[in-house]
Structure 1
């Protein structure tokens, strides 16, 4: 009987989204070329290595650099949640690509250090994420497959509410609501009404007395018409995190 040179890969349900449609409903059988590592084989099927969890061959754990033998069965698991991060990346700081502007503002509302620009190409994003120890969030699977990228995460959903929930469940970041500028990510500090009165609309000046100002871009904030909606986003975020265990080696920071 001719020896079977193929591998059988069984992907966890959470990872099947990345596979071509023809591979999503059953184990994947692939030819083994004799030189490719297991990590390369998995990535060639569409799963970015940033989404890759534990690998087992015939029930035994192996590293992505392992070169499998013909006929072996590989189980591919997703990353655990919350996701452990390398030294220097905890607590998480984020960098978002051009498609995630609304998510960036919501993360900043929660007090999470979140950089976002709509004019940066992929190599620039990867360099910045690595240099600043930021987690790169993107909907672009090809961007996550760049070998130089240290830490990234795929955002599955289109809706900002679901995107935010996914990030919170995956990274369990400590929240500090109302402490960052939603527009530029700069720190917010309380400011006396008299210091900003000349910059306020007449109706705002007559109605509100409590203000904060961004120390980076000087934008002024107050509890305006959207405050109830923003408060609900914060309330929902806290409820989500209440169901997520804190990553090992971290302590929850008080929410302000």
Structure 2
């Protein structure tokens, strides 16, 4: 083994943990802003579906940085003889990956959940009192509400800030966050330009399609006009059949162009 290779590996994994944690925080901030935008501006099925797609793509990046951090942590944990105190970084669990919220926001959300549970319970009690079988979605609604909100927080973990927001590696986070937001904006701008280009191409194609069909119709009409009728070169029945077929094709293409 090359001398100093182990030390270089440890430094590499330590830097990987620090960089992954910073990128993870950046993506969580972006996720929070995406969710706020979805809640405030996304209406109806189309806009909501697009907003959910953006959130899902950002969620994939969050999982990527989480897995990268955990892989580096596992290497450090192995080198440390499975002693977490020597690693210097905390183990990243699923419940640790959540957006940063203060106690007031969490208290408000918990109060809303409590009111929602009470409303659902009253509805179920009314249905039971009238001997009406409650639908499945209503029976499962309370369980879904108890599962937590969109950000995956469960139990008492909602009442405190995750350690990832208080750990090491905070230096330069604001600048890196601005870079991350700038990158996301640039990607969205490029996607919008690409979609606008697709719209222009489709518009031009729709403009050219009827013109092409009219040209095809004119071509079939010209073929009908050049059929040799009344000559010895072609039997009259064959000539009439050729003209009828050409007129039929000409009518077909003009009908398509008129649609």
Shorter chain as denominator, the TM-score bin is under 0.3
Which structure: greater helix fraction? Answer: 2
With normalisation by structure 2, the TM-score equals: 0.25
* Pair member with larger Rg: 2
TM-score (norm 1): 0.25
